[in-house]
Structure 1
Amino acid sequence: DYGLIAIAVPRNPAIPANADPDYFDLGLCAPLRTDFKGRAEYCGLFKTPTLRNVALRKSFFHNGYFHTLREAVAFYASRDSDPARWYPKNADGTVKKFDDLPKAYWPNLNTD
């Protein structure tokens, strides 16, 4: 509970700021935060909530992308083995993995 993790939740089109393709919610190193300024190792990390009453939630993860516990668990289980299930495709048909995290911060992703 309440640890920090970067898991590259898919970009949520329901968030108005995400209409700008250059906008990314970078979590702990977001522009409005000054406590982690210049600390790239924290980019993309978000605080994990408690599991207490998890089944009662209406949305999951920092951006509310998933709306059922089943979807959230399935994402955890198959993000790396089946990325096409979760991420959009580029114009050439390849999967646009980790579409809401700039590539520079991919090393911060949890791969456990």
Structure 2
Amino acid sequence: MHKHNGFTLIELMIVVAIIGILASIAIPAYQGYTQEAANNACMSEANDYARRAYADIQLNKAAADIPAPVASACSAINNGAPVVTMTSFASTARLPGNATITCDLNAGTPCSITALAP
């Protein structure tokens, strides 16, 4: 009687092929999820700053008293300059995000994704 002590080459090749197929499906999906999460984080950060700037302007705060945006999820909010008038401003998401977000204070504080880089 012969005792089987391991896997055959065919069995190992089948397992490697299955892992390759699963990875080819999972990796693009994961990249899409991380990109969407980065875009949403920047959208939230831009919305928070828009609400604060809108409130400060409505309270007639002096321009020097309105703080500049601090970006962590966004690579830039209004290029780092404080928003001191009822205007619109743009934010860009940090990588892996690809969104440009525009907030229009004239319309309240709605922010929306206006462009997605390829």
Same fold? TM cut 0.5: no
Q: Which has the higher helix share?
A: 2
TM-score by length of 1: 0.23
Q: Which has the higher strand share?
A: 2
- Bigger radius of gyration among the two: 2
Q: Say which structure, 1 or 2, has more relative contact order (CA 8 Å, 6+ apart).
A: 1
